């Protein structure tokens, strides 16, 4: 193979690899809003990959002064080489700008402008060590395939990065051991980038406590969220705040669960309660879960919804 052919093959390979990973534009940004020449406000933004080179950018600005009105715009951008060009109308104004080298700048035709820089997206609970006495459901050691002997679905795979990956279309995976009251369930998950997916078709999964009570797993980064989005109790309660991180980032749940109390006839005396801390933020606090049918004991289930989701570092402390 001559040198020019080798170089062409290398370029094609690099392009193929880059297409598998989230572009550097997507993520969270922080900076300043300049509504005029005198006032400044703290500003944050989320940049979401919508597929085919399109990006949706949500920018929020809030002042510490309660007498000053906050600002919010949603604008669109288009990828051109090493940058995203911003060109959209929002809030009654035309906006232009760019994202490049970790910086986001947007300016209206009346001179209002945002200046922001990309910040790290990371859960403070990622890699949390299990306390003494915890039940280790999925051991984690970086660079080592985990032991999956405590799980029922042999189609799910152990990965070299220390995770367990779901097998699309091969069914849910459950722990062989069953539980009731849970003082703390720690779960870490990483979602794939699926920019063309919308709604429930964007990296969907779920964590089912005792095989019956679901905490939704979904790529909900940058969305106006519902009970069906990440951290939601499906059909019951949405998270108090959307703290979903960008896909391809390790995220965390820390869940406390009190099983329902039943009488001798199986009737519910006390509804189950669940508390969920998502990426270090409490999003549900002793939320009661009404259902037609309840159970008091069962395994931990990780849902297969047709997406390749990775899980790692799963452990549990029993009791209240």
Domains in the chain with CATH codes: 25-119 (2.40.128.120), 135-318 (2.60.120.560)
- How far out from the chain centre does Cα 233 lie? 15
In the predicted model, what is the mean pLDDT of residues 117-122?
96
> What is the chain's mean pLDDT, rounded?
91
**Residue for token pair 């429930």:** 200
Higher-pLDDT residue of 11 and 265 is: 265
Place of tokens 């949405």: 238
User: What whole-number distance in Å separates Cα of residue 211 and Cα of residue 216?
Assistant: 13
pLDDT at 199: 64
Strands 164-165 and 205-209: unpaired
What pLDDT, on the 0 to 100 scale, is given for residue 202? Answer: 79
- Alpha helices by DSSP H, 105-255: none
Is residue 111 scored above 50 in pLDDT?
A: yes
Residue 8 pLDDT: 42
Longest dimension (CA), the chain: 80
More confident position, 148 or 21: 148
Alpha-carbon distance 130 to 24, whole Å? Answer: 33
**Percent of all residues in the chain with a pLDDT value above 70, rounded to a whole number:** 92
User: Which phi and psi (to 5°) does residue 197 adopt?
Assistant: -75, 150
Type and span of the H or E element at 107: strand 103-108
Instruction: Residue 159: name the closest of 192, 111, 130, 135 by CA.
Output: 192
CA dist 316 and 272 (Å) reads 18
- pLDDT > 90 fraction of the chain, expressed in percent and rounded: 81
Q: What is the pLDDT of residues 204-250, one digit of tens each?
A: 899 999 999 999 999 999 988 888 899 999 889 999 999 999 999 99
What pLDDT sits at residue 300? 98
With a cut of 80, say whether residue 6 has pLDDT above it. Answer: no
The CA distance from 84 to 192, in Å, is: 22
**Of 121, 122, 128, 133, nearest in space to 314 by CA:** 128
Q: Would the pLDDT of 7 be above 60? A: no
pLDDT at 14: 35
Question: pLDDT at position 21, please?
Answer: 46
* pLDDT of 53 higher than 90: yes
Model confidence at 164: pLDDT above 60:
yes
Least confident of 9-18, 146-155, 214-223: 9-18
Q: What pLDDT is stored for residue 182 in this prediction?
A: 98
| Paired tokens of 148 | 């999956």
Per-residue buried b or exposed e for 237-261, using 16+ beta carbons within 10 Å of the residue's own CB: bbbeebbbbbbbbbbbbbbbbbbbe
The pLDDT tens digits of the residues spanning 124-141 come to: 999 999 999 999 999 999
Average pLDDT over residues 74-86: 96
Please write the tens of the pLDDT for every residue from 255-266. 999 999 999 999
| Of residues 21 and 76, more confidently modeled | 76
């Amino acid at each position: 193979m001559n040198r020019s052919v080798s170089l062409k093959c290398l370029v094609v390979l690099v392009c193929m690899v880059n297409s598998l990973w989230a572009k550097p534009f997507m993520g969270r940004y922080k900076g300043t809003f300049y509504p005029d020449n005198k006032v400044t406000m703290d500003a944050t933004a989320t940049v979401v990959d919508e597929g085919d080179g399109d990006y949706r950018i949500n920018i929020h600005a809030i002042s510490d002064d309660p007498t000053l009105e906050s600002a919010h715009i949603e604008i669109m951008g288009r990828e051109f080489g090493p940058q995203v060009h911003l060109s959209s109308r929002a809030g009654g104004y035309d906006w232009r700008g760019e994202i490049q080298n970790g910086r986001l700048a947007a300016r209206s035709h009346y001179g209002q402008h945002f200046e922001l820089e990309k910040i790290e997206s990371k859960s403070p609970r990622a890699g949390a060590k299990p306390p003494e006495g915890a039940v280790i459901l999925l051991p984690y050691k970086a660079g080592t395939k985990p032991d999956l002997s405590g799980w029922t679905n042999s189609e799910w795979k152990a990965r070299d990065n220390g995770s367990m990956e779901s097998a699309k279309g091969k069914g849910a995976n459950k722990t062989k051991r069953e539980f009731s009251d849970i003082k703390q369930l720690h779960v870490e998950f990483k979602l794939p980038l699926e920019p063309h997916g919308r709604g429930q078709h964007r990296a969907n999964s779920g964590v089912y406590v005792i095989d019956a009570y679901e905490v939704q797993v979904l790529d909900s980064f940058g969305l106006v969220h519902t009970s069906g989005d990440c951290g939601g109790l499906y059909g019951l309660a949405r998270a108090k705040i959307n703290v979903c991180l960008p896909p391809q980032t390790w995220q965390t749940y820390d869940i406390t669960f009190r099983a329902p109390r039943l009488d001798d006839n199986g009737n519910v005396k006390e509804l189950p309660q669940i508390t969920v801390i998502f990426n270090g933020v409490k999003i549900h606090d002793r939320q009661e879960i009404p259902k037609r049918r309840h159970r008091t004991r069962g395994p931990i289930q990780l849902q297969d919804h047709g997406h390749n989701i990775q899980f790692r570092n799963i452990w549990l402390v029993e009791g209240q």
